[in-house]
Chain A
Amino acid sequence: MLCRVADSLHWMSRYVERAENIARFIDVNQVLSLGGVGVQWDPLIFASGDEKAYNKKYPDFSRENVLRFLLFDREYANSVVSCASRARENARAIQGELSMGVWHAVNRLYLRVRDGARNAEEVIANPNFFLERVKRSCHQVMGVSNATLSRDEAWQFCHLGTLVERADKTSRILDVKYFTLLPNVTDVGGALDVVQWSALLETTGATHMYRKRHGRIDPRKVVAFLVLDEQFPRSIRYCVEQAEDCMRDIASSTAPGDGPLAQIGEMSVRLNSIGADEIVDTGLHEFIDDFQRRLDSFNESLFEAYFHVPPVLPYVPDGAQSQTQSGPT
């Protein structure tokens, strides 16, 4: 597969996953805000990791400003509208590698978001319907990908994108919410508002699955569930293990080095060998910080190994092969 194509496949699904996550984050906050709980909107910006970009343009963390930024700001690369059009741009460039169904689903997602952006004020006033459509459209892309793509290299790069993005978002939301809820580790297990912890689960789409597994809301169990659960598809461990499988399939069929595979393998080992108590006691924030660093470094070596296309080099005629690109084997 062309390096450029692998890159586009990966980013197409990352952007779809990202759009879905943002929509879900907003949806949960929006619903919470209706319950009379003192809901803040700034954590959503902190979770995005883009507070600098936000602060440059917006004076405060009002609901309207946060929604405008996260949903419709075209200058902001990670807004829903930007994610949807980037997902589509990537998909359009590589339509040939996708099934028709996937392309149509990505195109539909883009059209739905674009329609929303045309009525931005209306959506901001009453976002539920729009957010539902975005989430559903994103799920359609994933569903039709699952149902129609061969489990070949194209799929692996797609799937890897989803998993990496998902692990990243779960860890960020956990970090931010944890800080908002629990500025102090000693507070763990104290009298906490169940509504707030439920909201954390809801934000990661985990409430029902958590309840099935652990029943009552318990902070340590929530951490255990979102970081270490073996079966929940948004837990960090689940994503990393699946990503490792993807990497193994990709690496076994390709030439480039084992950098990214080794790195994801290390992450997986670490998540396998640690317990929730250890994480909470030594500091969830520190744990997540470390995870984020490893994830960044994995992404870099993934790029180097598979996606990187060297810039066009000056051509040296007459068979003087001084080009640095790797030659035929």
Chain B
Amino acid sequence: MNNKSTVAYDEYGPSPDQPRHASLTHSLGQIPIEVLASRQEVAEAELNERGVTFAVYGHNDGAEKIWPFDIVPRPISGEEWRPVEEGLKQRIRALNLFLDDVYHDKHILKDGVIPEEFVLGAETYRPQCEGLKPPGGVWTHITGTDLIRDTDGQFYVLEDNLRCPSGVSYVLENRELMKRVLPEVFQGTSIAPVESYPDALLDTLLQTAPPKCDGLPRAVVLTPGQFNSAFFEHSYLAQRMGVDLVQASDLYVEGGLVWMRTTHGPQRVDVIYRRIDDDFLDPVSFRADSMLGVPGLMRAYREGGVTLANAPGAGIADDKGVYAYVPKIIEYYLSEEAILPNVPTYVCSEPDQCQYVLDHLSELVIKPANNSGGYGIYFGPTSSRAELEECAAAVKANPRNYIAQPLVTLSTTPTIVPGGLAPRHVDLRPFVLYGKDFYVMSGGLTRVALKEGSMVVNSSQGGGSKDTWVLNGASQ
């Protein structure tokens, strides 16, 4: 992927005369920029009125921010999409086998494919989960994998999110909003629907009901509460699935089962789509100081009284260090080559790779293994000398916690900016469900860096979003 071109891949085509999606480009082109801009305003007002928000940590008031949204959609042709879909399924199948293996026989470690201490010593490895048999054998019910497109137009996996990946509610909201504000572009365009996701999610959860469940399983969504950054999503998904949104204080464990306190007395809960981290699930098994958890939950889980989705311990598979080994993991378990390539990655716990990273800091993006939301990342090319020194010190102090990647030039999509349209860098987070079978959402969440030249797309860092259109039929 190196040395091909430094010009970002434009999702709409290298120039207006060479559109990649002719019919979409044409129908969008019919709309004068002033009209587009005014539709953008309508969309923003609508999001405000509908209370579509997320919270940003680190602000004094913990303020909710209105979900930032750009109305110019990001298109992907059907042909381009199919291998992505296959690649995602392959990846998640392999990561599930990996999880099962590392919490049981550890073949992959014994065979020396991944250094043992690299996995067992990881912060996200949970010894408490050793020997666990998640119901249905599923560790990762819900995955959001971050993809980017390099200058050559190839999709690469940037990172896996197997714990509590966020953003799917915004995909659904974005689509609903787009239909309201740009109906004329939808007409005559064949766009793969995304609306079935909540039903598929509910199916996935119910399919993995625990062994002790008798009768119809009851699923709930477990949220840390209103001040969590993704509370909107927790609430949205519970509502769309028609299940209860619970907090830990609503639940308790008794007789090896999980119960919720209702106006009708205690009611059983079978499947918990938990949107809180392992650490806060159960003060008995994990962090004793946590007031968030449900005491005894892990024991009930281990004994087949309840299903937790995703399974505790799954975080080891989205450790950014383990990420570097995923192509090998795929090869090891499936005897297949990875369909979706990784971005080349240097693992700092390997001394020679670490030395390379330290020698080339100013060319690389250095990431901590476990932070999410874009926190703690160093962008070598744009960092000051002081920042690079700080970064070098951090890497030397804890090499296991860092990986490094060359700066990939993310593809761009035209985006509404004051005074017109301009290219802005985007990534893509498709969502995959895994129960008895796979469900891959068509497209996913396109995040866009709203600042000129920036490649930081996280909403917590000022990024926005776009509706993603997988265009059916022949390439337009």
Contact = CB atoms under 8 A, between A and B. Distances in A.
Contact of A104 (B50, B245, B295): B50
Given A4-B249, A95-B235, A329-B265, 12 more contacts: A6-B263, A92-B51, A92-B226, A95-B236, A107-B51, A253-B264, A254-B265, A255-B264, A321-B254, A321-B255, A326-B265, A328-B254
A93 interface: yes
A103 interface: yes
A3 B251 CA distance: 11
A143 interface: no
Given A254-B264, A315-B284, A4 B247 contact: yes
Interface of B: 48-51, 225-226, 231, 235-236, 238-239, 243-250, 252-255, 257, 259-266, 268, 283-284, 291, 295-296, 299
Per CB-CB distance, the 4 closest pairs between chain A and chain B, nearest first, are A315-B295, A96-B239, A107-B51, A255-B265
Contacts, number: 98
A41 to B, nearest CB: 32
B429 to A, nearest CB: 23
A2 B260 contact: yes
Interface residues of A, number: 36
Contacts of B246: 2
Given A92-B51, A315-B296, A328-B257, A250 B263 contact: yes
12 contacts: A1-B264, A2-B262, A2-B263, A93-B235, A107-B50, A250-B263, A312-B291, A314-B295, A315-B253, A315-B284, A315-B295, A328-B254
A323 interface: yes
Residue from B51, B236, B246, B259 whose CB has the most chain A CB atoms within 10 Å: B51
A315 B283 contact: yes
Does more than half of chain B's interface fall in helix, strand or loop, or is it mixed? mixed
A59 interface: no
B250 A3 contact: yes
Nearest to B253: A315
A111 B246 CA distance: 27
Contacts of B243: 96
A159 B260 CA distance: 24
B49 A2 contact: no
Contacts of A312: 248-249, 291, 295
A314 B293 CA distance: 12
Nearest to A98: B239
A274 B262 CA distance: 38
A256 interface: yes
A280 B245 CA distance: 50
B51 A3 contact: no
A74 interface: no
Interface string A1-22: 1111110000000000000000
B263 A96 contact: no
A328 B244 contact: no
A245 interface: no
Contacts of B231: 92
Contacts of A238: none
A329 B265 CA distance: 8
Nearest to B264: A254
Interface string A291-329: 000000000000000100100101101000101011111
Nearest to B242: A96
Contact of B284 (A107, A250, A254, A317): A317
Residue from B49, B246, B262, B291 whose CB has the most chain A CB atoms within 10 Å: B262
Nearest to A5: B244
Contacts of B264: 1, 253-255
Nearest to A253: B264
A107 B47 CA distance: 11
Residue from B252, B255, B257 whose CB has the most chain A CB atoms within 10 Å: B252
B49 A96 contact: no
A115 to B, nearest CB: 11
Contacts of A108: 49
Given A256-B265, A315-B296, A96 B250 contact: no
B301 to A, nearest CB: 14
